[in-house]
Amino acid sequence: MTRVPSTGRIEIRDLRALGLHGVLPHERERAQPFSVDLDVHVDMSAAAASDALADTVDYGALVQQVAQVVSGTSFSLLEALAAAICRRVLDDPRVARVEVVVRKMRPPVDVDVGSIGVRVVDVRRT
């Protein structure tokens, strides 16, 4: 019998981390909160069959890597931050596609908003 891939996604919602991202000087002087959502598309057939963590993308390690990108780097634009997160997630060869939403929780605007963000989608290129 031929194995049929079981494509699925790992969903991470509202990962919170502090970072120095923004165009304005005061945004780069004091860390501010960011929220990240991830949809990580992977072949889940091996993990479903084995029930072994080694056969899937470890979401615990993944959240640590993403938090490190938010906290350990600095970008002017949310688009650049989201693209850097995509690249980090796609470092794992098991990831076929990733969708990243990055939200600035305290955007420097004169209107009361909950957050402002961007959504970036990237795929593995063969």
The catalytic residues are 104
Query: Which residue's structure tokens are 């470092």?
Result: 91
Q: What is the 3-state secondary structure (H, E, C) of 61-120?
A: HHHHHHHHHHHHCCCCCHHHHHHHHHHHHHCCCCEEEEEEEEEECCCCCCCCCCCEEEEE
Q: Read out DSSP for 10-34?
A: EEEEEEEEEE---SSGGGGTS-EEE
- Under 8 Å between Cβ of 118 and 78: yes
Query: Which residue's structure tokens are 């995509």?
Result: 86
DSSP 121: E
